[in-house]
Amino acid sequence: MDLSSLIKAYDVRGTVPDQLSPDVARAIGAAFARVVVLPEAGDATRPSVVVGHDMRESGPELVEAFASGLTDAGVDVVRIGLCSTDGLYFASGSLGVPGAMFTASHNPAVYNGIKLCRAGARPVGQDTGLAEIRELAGDFLGDGLPEPADAPGAVTDREMLADYAAFLRGLVDLSGIRPLKVVVDAGNGMGGYTVPAVLGTGAGLPPLPLDVVPLYFELDGSFPNHEANPLEPANLRDLQAAAVEHDADLGLAFDGDADRCFVVDEHGDPVSPSAITALVGLREVAKELEQGRTPTVIHNLITSRAVPDLLHAAGAATVRTRVGHSFIKAQMAEHQAVFGGEHSAHYYFRDFFFADTGMLAAMHVLAALGSQPHPLSALADAYQPYVASGEINSRVADVPAARARVVEAYVTQQGAGPVTTDELDGLTVSHWDATPQWWFNLRASNTEPLLRLNVEAADEDIMEKVRDDVLSLVRDTETDASDTPEEQA
């Protein structure tokens, strides 16, 4: 059976039950055991896997089926029940075992999925086992599952929320900050489960000087209030309004599985994820420099130029990567980087098993804001000196032809001069080392006939001119009749 529409480059994600059914989950569990778990365990102690799920109704049934595929292969299963994705990474890292998180992140209610990791929360992606899992699970669905092991695995239940909360509290001390009022929009996702434990007293920890105003903390996988995808501006509106209404110091929005965190200031204005990357990165860099170490920070190529500028000025090294969490995580491990950030609001920490956690990023923002007297709008200004377009998606009839028009105008016709180009991920054209300062990146979608444009410049007029010029080439009306641009903040 072909599972390519379900098991993609980074994770498993599809509609329930037509794409992801209990039978499919069982086959994936059996394949995960044989591709990752058993080879990784070798002849050591009995192998085990930690499994968690988010608030989607289909989660428990899929977990049960997945676990049976593992136990039939002789693998023990530790079920931790409801958790955020970073809660699952914590469990995998602290227990030293592979893990599986059942979630479809920000996708609508009809979806579910699985994020797999090796022991220590190391990623399982296309090139690190997921392709083999896809092929083997498809074989199992077509030819039948293998005979159960002579000694099947056992299933046990374990509570990890309190340990997760205590671990994060140990990484960022918020006890001494000035009192802050923070509105949190959990979007009916797992932030409604983790925020009371980490920022409140729900896990038995001491109270913090935080007045948390909750929005949509009720766990509901049908997402009755808005999609749990803060990347879409419409899904931030309730948080923005509440931040102003409650005279809050800031607002936080989590996606469905709470591995991403978005920030708005006291006016309800979004703070760029690039600014958060710089803010948090500088905090982590400062700790390393105090220990006499030269730190490295990872950022992807659509992150603001302010990020490497500020980090280099502070004495850090930076590594620029392709867009996508598997690339960030690989570079994090290779360079032993202290921190990594993406413009999609994924934030990665060496001290969190090189994995991403929205909650820890939020705690750094709270610590930075609460340790000085200025409002977040003023604090954030220092980290976002340039003007960005946000990601603009254009649907085109012929992606290669549209890209070729941009190459002709900005590369071929320019010739030698101040413009530089690279193709690390799509096409990046930069005029940053000359005046006026600007750069843009144009990337093709892997799944749709879309071109994604990001532009940044030193001022608004230049950004708008470059943006409009590139879009006019991309959306050539003579060859592309239907344009459905979508702009994301």
Q: Which residues are part of the catalytic machinery?
A: 105
170 in Cβ contact with 198 (< 8 Å):
no
- Report the C-alpha gap between 280 and 274 in whole angstroms: 10
Tokens coding 117: 């990791």
Residue from 189, 324, 199, 326 nearest 258 by CA: 189
Report whether 307 contacts 299 (CB < 8 A). Answer: yes
Q: How far apart are CA 108 and CA 170, in angstroms?
A: 34
Integer Rg of the chain from CA: 23
Determine what percent of the chain falls in helix, strand and coil, rounding each to the nearest 5: 40, 20, 40
Instruction: Tell me which residue of 448, 449, 444 sits closest to 427, measured CA to CA.
Output: 444
DSSP codes joined into one string, 225-252: SS-S-TTSGGGGHHHHHHHHHTT-SEEE
Q: How many whole angstroms separate alpha carbon 451 and alpha carbon 207? A: 47
CA distance 133 to 36: 9
Among 426, 482, 480, 483, smallest CA distance to 455 is for: 426
Cα angle at 335 between 330 and 336, to 5 degrees? 95
Name the token pair of 339.
């921190």
d(C-alpha 162, C-alpha 242), whole Å? 29
